[in-house]
Amino acid sequence: MFSDLLIKRLKKAKTVAVLTGAGISAESGVPTFRGEQGLWKKFRPEQLANFNAFIENPKLVWEWYNFRKNLIRQVKPNPGHYALVKIENLFTDFCLITQNVDNLHRLAGSRRIYELHGNIMRNRCVDCNKQFDEILFDDENLPRCDCGGLIRPDVVWYGESLPDDVLTKSFAAADKSDVFFSIGTSAVVQPAASLPVEAKRAGAYVVEINFEPTVITNYVDESIIGKSGKILPELMKRILND
Ligand code: BV8
Ligand code: ZN
């Protein structure tokens, strides 16, 4: 499943960076965005995950996020998440860059996490940016900040910029990585999808682990097709036993 070259590069590696997408949470039961059960299938992204849609119809957008939050509350990390926690402990300089907002990497025990697209369990005021952890509200009245502003999920919507510091640190990690993994992402959403490309340009050995080929499959050094929940624990075992 893994080339000897990959194991050799990992044995020598000082810096390892990982980019994950919705696919790593699929085996936990969280629907991906663009797959068969994809979240977007039932809801059109332009209706839900952008700021104007929220201002136009905050109730509908909140319904979608509450639906996802309730689903995420019932799931737990899978062997793929846990294998990444073990892999993090093997390298002096490791970082996990995730596009996911489902909090499962944190729950699994990953420490060095950069959340590119925010976190669905966090909320903030549209006007004054005040942060709110859990907020409860009924269908009638939308959640409001004490300044009167609407409270929104603290995630990055389409057309919104990613948090500057997180993005800068993620590209810096890609730049200096000896081995870069792209796991469970269709690699279409920018600027996250540029990270594996940047890593390869800067000299990293880039490995894709994904259920199906993607737009970067022909570009990476090694593509492993399959489920991350199975592949990552196998990779962990191979690194330790070799
Ligand atoms: C921005 C949070 C500056 C919300 C999300 C440059 C070029 C082209 C377009 C753009 C560009 N720059 C900006 C854009 C526009 C846009 C964009 O990229 N559009 C795409 C669709 C073309 N980007 C933006 O708007 C970004 N903002 O760049 O700001 C700016 C500002 C204004 C104008 C221009 C620029 C903001 C993007 C962030 C959007 N927010 N999420 C929420 O979650 O509710 S993105 C959303 O997609 C999730 O975060 C998700 O993680 C992410 C990426 O999707 P994937 O994770 O890859 O999921 P997907 O379902 O697609 O794929 C899953 C894969 O897993 C599949 O391949 C499947 O085969 C595989 N899989 C399934 N099961 C398994 C598995 N693999 C392994 N094991 C399994 N078991
Ligand atoms: Zn406020």
pLDDT of residue 16: 98
Among candidate residues 147, 118, 125, the one with its CA nearest the CA of residue 58: 125
Give me the chain's average pLDDT, please: 93
Domain extents for the chain?
4-29+77-117+162-241, 38-74+126-155
CATH label, 4-29+77-117+162-241, candidates 3.30.420.10, 3.40.50.1220, 3.90.1150.150, 1.10.10.10: 3.40.50.1220
pLDDT of residue 171: 98
Q: Which residue lies with its CA nearest to atom 53 of ligand 1?
A: 189
Q: Do domains 4-29+77-117+162-241 and 38-74+126-155 have the same CATH topology?
A: no
Among candidate residues 81, 73, 69, the one with its CA nearest the CA of residue 108: 81
Q: pLDDT per residue over 51-109, tens digit each?
A: 999 999 898 899 889 888 998 999 999 999 999 999 999 998 999 999 999 999 999 99
Ligand 1 lined by 122 (C-beta under 6 Å): no
Describe the crossing of helices 228-241 and 4-12 by its angle, rounded to 10 degrees.
Answer: 70
Mean pLDDT across 18-25:
97
Decide: 209 and 231 in contact? Cβ < 8 Å: yes
Ligand 2 centroid distance, CA of 149 (Å): 5
Q: Is the pLDDT of residue 202 over 60?
A: yes
Residue 81 annotated as catalytic? no
Q: pLDDT per residue over 134-178, tens digit each?
A: 887 776 789 999 999 999 999 999 999 999 999 999 999 999 999
Phi then psi for residue 23, to 5 deg, are: -60, -30
pLDDT of residue 139: 67
Decide: 89 and 108 in contact? Cβ < 8 Å: no
**What is the second-level CATH architecture of the domain 38-74+126-155?**
2-Layer Sandwich (3.30)
Strand partners, 124: 131, 152
The catalytic residue among 9, 68, 105, 117 is 117
Query: pLDDT over 70 for what percent of the chain?
Result: 94
Length of the chain: 242
Q: Is the pLDDT of residue 41 over 60?
A: no
